[in-house]
Structure 1
């Protein structure tokens, strides 16, 4: 049985969910961002109990198919931008279509109707948030950040960064209080 969980956006989220599933003695096969696979079906009571537990931790057990698909799209984008270290070799639409086994135009329409923004804008927001993180760490040059985030050049990254944040990357880096956002609030 597969369960889809909203707001599961990092490794610590996976650990928190795993701990709760173990407490409930549920048979876990795998856990990844936004998704848990169990070796058996759950009773209505178990589902309700799990939903309540997850809600108390800031997660949400998704039961509608549309919500599940939106969360899968978000988790694939988050994983691609924040947790993969290799450069993406295919474009975003192909990546999502292949992973979700759905036509990209259908995914795009569903996402836009549900979230009020396009998948591309969500992807850009995630990339800019990752750029902010890398700027704050001050370990990479702007050129290295552009390469890591698969921008064609520094100017392209800088233009998108300014459009999203209102600041140039250099000005953002100089700010005393960096205005980073949590991934799940994007």
Structure 2
């Protein structure tokens, strides 16, 4: 039996869910971002206990089909941007459509209807968050980051970064370094 969980987007969330399933005596075959596969049928009472315990941790057990699909879209994007070694070389729309087995127009319409934003915007937000992370690690220069994140050029990355954050990548990096230095001097 598959259960879908909203806001389950990190490895820490997976560990928390596994622990709660164990506490409730539920056996699972897999726990992935946003989806758990439970071996047995779950009673309404245990389902309600699981729902409550997940809520206390900021997670939600989902019932609505649209909400489940949106969460799947978000998880595909999060895994693609944050947890893969490199972004797919095909169009993101094609990648998402292939993984979820739905026409991209259908996915896009549902996402926009429910979230009030486009899938493309959601991808851009996550790419910029990943760029921020890479800037702070200071292991790659801006050219390497733009290549890794599939931007056509450093100028394109910088333009999109400024549009989303209001800052240039260089200014952001310098600002973050100042904040870190200030903490060290405390």
User: What is the TM-score normalised by the length of structure 1?
Assistant: 0.92
Structure 1 unaligned spans of 5+:
179-186
Hey, what's the Cα distance between the residues in 1 that align with 2:116 and 2:101? 23
- Comparing 86-95 and 48-57, the one that deviates more: 86-95
Hey, what's the Cα distance between the residues in 1 that align with 2:22 and 2:149? 36
Paired residue total? 178
Q: What's the Cα RMSD here?
A: 1.2
After superposition, the C-alpha distances for 1:107-129 in whole angstroms (9 at most, x for unaligned) are: 00100011111000000000000
SS across alignment from 1:3: strand
Q: Report the counterpart of residue 88 of structure 1 in structure 2.
A: 88
Structure 1 residue 177: deviation in Å?
Answer: 4.4
Structure 1 residue 150: deviation in Å?
Answer: 1.1
Q: Report the counterpart of residue 181 of structure 1 in structure 2.
A: none
Hey, what's the Cα distance between the residues in 2 that align with 1:97 and 1:177? 41
Q: Report the counterpart of residue 164 of structure 1 in structure 2.
A: 164
After superposition, the C-alpha distances for 1:152-179 in whole angstroms (9 at most, x for unaligned) are: 111111110011011110011111349x
SS across alignment from 1:74: helix
Structure 2 unaligned spans of 5+:
181-186
After superposition, the C-alpha distances for 1:63-99 in whole angstroms (9 at most, x for unaligned) are: 1101101100001000000000033122111111111
